[in-house]
Amino acid sequence: MDHEHRSKAISQGPHQVRILFTLIASLFIVHTELHAANLDIVLEGAKADEGVLMIAVANSQASFDNDEPVYASLILPVRDGGNRVTLHDLPAGGYAISVFHDADLDGELNTNLMGIPTEAYGFSNNARGSFGPPTYDDCRFDVSKDDIEQRISLR
């Protein structure tokens, strides 16, 4: 192989490597999407069969802080003692759940004059805040390809 043909073959090498890398990356992304997981949310501690449970599943700090829409929001009738709901095919990533028992069906978490909730509430990881709600990082859990359960005690 003379010098001209050899340099042409070498110059095509990096381009072929980029194409190969792109193909492999694309397969990885498709493979990851195929392995989305199910999230079981188990809610315990509802005191009565009245009202509804308002559930928000955030997938970022901004959605947890209500600056962006949440990944999913659910409204469930309350069953004395507990509820279970499954979200199917969640993409891999970080999530945080907040829930409250809307006993009077007004769509809001009611508080007393000091701002302390008067309706039962809870967060993923059973996180608790001090002088306010817990942070996204306190509530955050990771979803990968395996199904996961979050058990939340209302208080």
Full pLDDT tens readout for the chain, 155 residues: 555 544 444 445 554 544 444 444 444 444 444 568 999 999 999 888 789 999 999 999 999 999 999 999 999 999 876 899 999 999 999 999 999 999 999 999 999 999 999 999 999 999 999 889 999 999 999 999 999 999 999 99
Query: Whole-model pTM?
Result: 0.77
Shared-domain flag, residues 79 and 3? no
Shared-domain flag, residues 75 and 106? yes
Shared-domain flag, residues 16 and 71? no
Shared-domain flag, residues 41 and 24? no
Nearest to 45 by CA among 97, 89, 5, 100: 100
**Total number of domains constituting the chain:** 2
What is the C-alpha separation between 49 and 79, in angstroms, rounded?
5
Shared-domain flag, residues 5 and 59? no
Shared-domain flag, residues 25 and 56? no
Shared-domain flag, residues 73 and 109? yes
CATH number at residue 126: 2.60.40
